[in-house]
Amino acid sequence: MRRVGVATPRAPVAAPMTHSIHDFKAKLRQPSVAPALEGYVKWRRGVRAARERGEAPPPAPELAPVSINLDLTTACNFRCTHCIDWDILNTKHRLAEADLRDSITLLRERGLRSVILIGGGEPTLYPGFVDFVGFLKEAGLMVAVVTNGSRGDRLHEAIAFLEEGDWIRMSLDAGSNELFQAMHLPTSAAVTLDGICDWVPKLKAKNPKPRLGFSYIIIWGGASREGEVLHENIDEIELATERAKRSGFDYIALKPVLERQENGAEVMDPDKSRAAVSDTVARIRRQVDAAKVHADASFEVYESTNLRMLEEGTWRDLTHQPQTCHMQALRQVLTPTGLYNCPAHRGVDKGLIAAKDAYQDAERAEGTGVALAAILDRFDASVECKAVTCLYHSTNWWLEELIASDEEPQLASGTRDGDFFL
């Protein structure tokens, strides 16, 4: 049996420059989160010590993740060729709203701080979407919505509940209507990129507090889903940036496409490019540089960490994971098919922690604690995520080293609470 909590050898990796939205170590050290994090570290130390003595490990404390991705529905009105969750869409699995509200209430009592409505379906298609956003805000949670933007009317209703620090991000991935239609294949021909972007000024006029983002997944020639080659969109990065700024978005977020491996993991695989990787990266770099010209005090151009590392040729540095992924305890994915350990393994059996009612009441939550302890042991991230450029890489190694240390963990940073999205 492997020794949980003992740091495994690794080559030193220079930490990449990190935008504050991806500074997960700082987020976990916020005053309201740090006590729960200390409880987790002490528990994992206790597990390690008990096993070294040949004793039964202590049970998991009453933990809740700090942040969850919540898939309200598997229904979707797009048929995106590059969708990583293609196999989940439009299945009959569902979350009963009353049960889901019970789960959120218990999670909030135990330390949940933020919810990202996202995932295997389009959240605005959930029948109770608007009221549920209101419920989440009444519970004192930070809320984000990742949407295809097709139901601007429902976003317009829901945005009234959102506050400073909340956000809505639209997955659009194109600068022209033609490429947008080809990539996303909306079930209604009336849905266009122009029409979606026309809603942005209306959303801003109703409530300017939450940030509105234009998400752009960069796809290169040769990228595929289940053998089907995807539409390349490198040459529309600047065009999309111009559109995003003109429409009134607060930012555009640029990130590389992920593909599903046979083992279920979502990975970045530039080696599949039809051109040499260096040529593909050079094309991306030229477009990103042109896009950045449009940034100013009111509009930002975000490059994801894995995009920057792709451009630098260092993206494999973030694939050397510790055996234990500690983020499984701190960020989880609740879906109509179950509770999963990571968005990169959503819908994959090996990433399943428990059933969809895992947090519905205290009794089920106790069983979920047992299940969490089990997946922390059995899910070997150094194997299962060996090709994943993981944004939580440095945070996992930091936690691994904290658990292996004999020093008293002093985790609170002293800074005020802010962003709880993980």
**Could you give the CA distance from residue 216 to residue 255 in angstroms, rounded to a whole number?**
6
**Could you give the CA distance from residue 39 to residue 409 in angstroms, rounded to a whole number?**
10
Q: What residue ranges do the domains of the chain occupy?
A: 67-319
- What string of pLDDT tens digits covers the 422 residues of the chain? 333 444 444 444 444 445 678 889 999 999 999 989 999 999 999 999 999 999 999 999 998 999 999 999 988 999 888 877 666 765 777 788 999 999 999 999 999 999 999 877 899 999 999 999 999 999 999 999 999 999 999 999 999 999 999 999 999 999 999 999 999 999 999 999 999 999 999 999 999 999 999 999 999 887 777 667 789 999 999 999 999 999 999 999 999 886 555 554 445 555 555 557 788 889 999 999 999 999 999 999 999 887 887 777 776 777 889 999 999 999 999 999 999 999 888 888 999 999 999 999 999 999 999 999 999 999 999 999 887 888 898 999 999 999 999 887 777 776 778 899 99
- To the nearest 10°, the Cα dihedral for 22, 23, 25, 27? -90
What is the H or E stretch that residue 339 is in?
Answer: strand 338-340
Residues 6+ apart with CB under 8 A from 90: 74, 75, 76, 121
CB 265 within 8 A of CB 388: yes
Task: Fill in the DSSP letter of residue 108.
Answer: H
Question: For the domain with range 67-319, which CATH number is right: 3.40.50.300, 3.20.20.70, 1.20.120.550, 3.30.1450.10?
Answer: 3.20.20.70
Q: What is the pTM of this model?
A: 0.91
What are 354's strand-pairing partners? 339
Question: Which residue type does 70 have?
Answer: L
The count of other CB atoms within 10 Å of the CB of residue 116 is: 23
Q: Are strands 167-171 and 142-147 parallel, antiparallel or unpaired?
A: parallel
**Could you give the CA distance from residue 56 to residue 282 in angstroms, rounded to a whole number?**
54
SS3 letters across 344-376:
HHCCCHHHEEECCCCCCCHHHHHHHHHHHHHHH
No. of helices (H) and no. of strands (E), the chain: 14, 14
CB 97 within 8 A of CB 119: no
The set of long-range contacts for 271-280, using a CB threshold of 8 Å and a minimum separation of 24, is 272/222, 272/223, 272/224, 273/220, 273/221, 273/222, 273/223, 274/220, 274/221, 274/222, 275/220, 275/221, 275/222, 280/220, 280/221, 280/234
Q: How far is CA 168 from the centre of its chain?
A: 13
**Could you give the CA distance from residue 106 to residue 359 in angstroms, rounded to a whole number?**
7
Which residue, among 109, 75, 113, has the nearest Cα to 94 in the 3D structure?
Answer: 75
